[in-house]
Chain A
Amino acid sequence: GDSVTQMEGPVTLSEEAFLTINCTYTATGYPSLFWYVQYPGEGLQLLLKATKADDKGSNKGFEATYRKETTSFHLEKGSVQVSDSAVYFCALSRSQGGSEKLVFGKGTKLTVNP
């Protein structure tokens, strides 16, 4: 079945460091791909998404490119801030009885130190 694999954390970085969180997927067809972020004590919120191959999603300095050839959607940010400390989830959408359902990776906890 469809699945998402993302790098295990936790990841600890210093402020202004470069961030990469790897995500690969297994799916039939061409799902949409998402990154969701969960700040401490809060629910998940969409960070960025890409709906077809070679699309680049971007938001708040984060970027991810939909790579069909490597079935990947790695999250990157050039200079992280303390406020980026959160848990990041990679997800794909797949059909569910006529709708779209999200399949999540296990999450990667990021801590950014000043």
Chain B
Amino acid sequence: EAQVTQNPRYLITVTGKKLTVTCSQNMNHEYMSWYRQDPGLGLRQIYYSMNVEVTDKGDVPEGYKVSRKEKRNFPLILESPSPNQTSLYFCASNPSVEGTDTQYFGPGTRLTVL
């Protein structure tokens, strides 16, 4: 089954404790991205990647890192989480870097930073 998976689905942590949210897609998609969803703000892009070893900032990259060492995986890293990073996070992938293909979203990771 074609899908985007994220882990963990739920995470409660404390300020300053490094964490990683994993994202994996099995569709051989080139383009992957991370979004955060906050009430009243919709989805905002954090980082994106157009292929292996190619990543760039989205609209709200502060406090986040990403890496793309393999085509299928695109982890989101919070080196020192803060309470304002409490949010619902979505990973998404797109078949190509051109055109208007549909983005496929993971099920989301709900993060709470105390």
Contact = CB atoms under 8 A, between A and B. Distances in A.
B48 interface: yes
B55 to A, nearest CB: 11
B50 A46 contact: no
Interface of A: 32, 34, 36, 41-46, 49, 51, 89, 93, 96-102, 104-107
Given A101-B48, A106-B40, A51 B94 contact: no
Contacts of B98: 98-100
Interface SS, A side: strand
A104 B43 contact: yes
A89 B92 CA distance: 15
Q: Which of A44, A49, A96, A105 neighbours the largest number of chain B CB atoms within 10 Å of its CB?
A: A44
A41 to B, nearest CB: 8
Interface in B68-103: 90, 92, 94, 96-103
Interface of B: 4, 31, 33, 40-45, 48, 50, 56, 58, 90, 92, 94, 96-103, 105-108
Contacts of A41: 107
Contacts, number: 58
Contact of A42 (B101, B103, B107): B107
Nearest to B54: A97
A104 B94 contact: no
